Amino acid sequence: MPRTALAAFLLLLSPAAQAACAAPPAPPPVSEKPAKPALPQKPACLDAKGGCPGWEAYTYNDGIKAYNAQLGPYRTSAEAYARKLKAYADGSVAYANCEMQSMQ
């Protein structure tokens, strides 16, 4: 019986048993979540049989070009935010697994 008690005591003193689980990283703030650019409103005349007058078609086309120009920076920001979310999720899972292991 004394050997069992000694083995249990040594196991509790081992570095692995005493190591604290690293807390997961903080979630990225919602304020960092990028806002998707808004599509320009499609003019009703676009679907009409006669089409749109030139100025309205050009205005809509310019709006589409501006929207497309905003998509590149939005995608970059969205991917960076997604990486932060993934790091948070992965860190949380690692922390939970560590805590579960420490209870065994």
Query: Which pLDDT value is given to residue 44?
Result: 83
21 contact partners, CB below 8 Å, separation of at least 6: 95, 98, 99, 102
Average pLDDT of the chain is 83
User: Which among 25, 15, 3, 6 is positioned nearest to 90, based on CA atoms?
Assistant: 25
CA distance 68 to 13: 61
User: Which among 34, 33, 57, 28 is positioned nearest to 45, based on CA atoms?
Assistant: 57
Whether pLDDT at 91 is above 90 = yes
Considering the entire predicted model, what is its pTM? 0.66
The domains of the chain are located at: 2-102
Question: pLDDT, tens digit, for every residue of 37-73?
Answer: 999 998 888 777 777 788 888 899 999 999 999 999 9
Query: Which pLDDT value is given to residue 24?
Result: 86
Query: Which pLDDT value is given to residue 69?
Result: 96
